[in-house]
């Protein structure tokens, strides 16, 4: 494998020696997903995770009524991972699906484990990513309970404006815990402000 510039921006010399960086990059493989391809399906066990070079991905669950509810959106530079499924090797309850054609870099579970347990800097970066993911999930959960829908939408606009340009309103509405109609009303109100 060549040393992709994209991955060198994630595993930078700021945190890794050249030898560590080479060792990490050698474990990743470039993969492409077409729009609507699944990276991970509900009921399966995660055996790899990905960094997105280009494109958009979402994770979602199916509720008791059979509707899919978006749980996260991913874009270039993001790590796409089901932490619990990968680390605990248990079946996932989420689906992870490409919203657009995507170029990703994947590492399998065994190679990830070797890097994680054999390289302190890799382990620390992984822990920081896990903590960041947890805090984002916690903040989103609290926001669904404590914030008005309009505030949740404005927060998403602020944090992930690129997602809003590439993700359907139906998926955004489900992520925000509202209907498509409510989202249309909120967007109109904000446009008139």
Q: What is the pLDDT of residues 81-137, one digit of tens each?
A: 999 999 899 999 999 999 999 999 999 999 999 999 999 999 999 899 999 999 999
- Number of residues written out for the chain: 193
What pLDDT shows up at residue 3?
A: 43
Q: Does residue 94 lie within any of the structural domains?
A: yes
Q: Does residue 168 lie within any of the structural domains?
A: no
* E strand segments, 63-193: 68-74, 79-80, 95-98, 102-108
Whole-prediction pTM = 0.88
**Inter-residue contact 11 to 126 (CB < 8 Å):** no
Q: Does residue 49 lie within any of the structural domains?
A: yes
Q: Does residue 10 lie within any of the structural domains?
A: yes
Compute, in degrees rounded to 10, the torsion defined by CA atoms 124, 50, 73, 76: 90
The total number of structural domains that make up the chain:
1
What is the span of the domain harbouring residue 83? 5-120
Q: Does residue 97 lie within any of the structural domains?
A: yes
State how far the alpha carbon of 44 is from the alpha carbons of 33, 72, 82, 89, 179, in Å. Answer: 18, 18, 11, 9, 29
Average pLDDT value over all residues in the chain: 92
Confidence of residue 4 (pLDDT cuts 50, 70, 90): low
Q: Does residue 25 lie within any of the structural domains?
A: yes
């Amino acid at each position: 494998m060549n040393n992709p510039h994209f991955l060198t921006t994630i595993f930078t010399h700021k945190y890794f020696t050249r030898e560590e960086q080479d060792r990490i990059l050698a474990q990743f493989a470039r993969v492409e997903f077409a729009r609507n391809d699944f990276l991970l399906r509900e009921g399966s066990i995660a055996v790899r995770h990905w960094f997105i070079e280009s494109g958009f991905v979402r994770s979602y669950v199916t509720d008791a009524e059979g509707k899919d509810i978006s749980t996260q959106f991913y874009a270039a530079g993001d790590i796409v991972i089901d932490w619990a499924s990968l680390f605990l090797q248990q079946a996932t309850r989420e689906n992870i699906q490409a919203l657009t054609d995507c170029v990703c870099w994947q590492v399998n579970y065994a190679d990830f484990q070797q890097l994680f347990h054999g390289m302190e800097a890799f382990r620390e970066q992984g822990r920081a990513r896990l903590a960041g993911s947890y805090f984002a999930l916690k903040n989103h959960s609290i926001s669904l309970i404590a914030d008005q829908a309009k505030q949740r939408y404005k927060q998403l606009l602020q944090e992930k404006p690129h997602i809003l340009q590439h993700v359907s309103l139906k998926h955004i509405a489900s992520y925000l815990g509202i209907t498509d109609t409510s989202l249309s009303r909120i967007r109109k109100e904000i446009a008139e402000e």
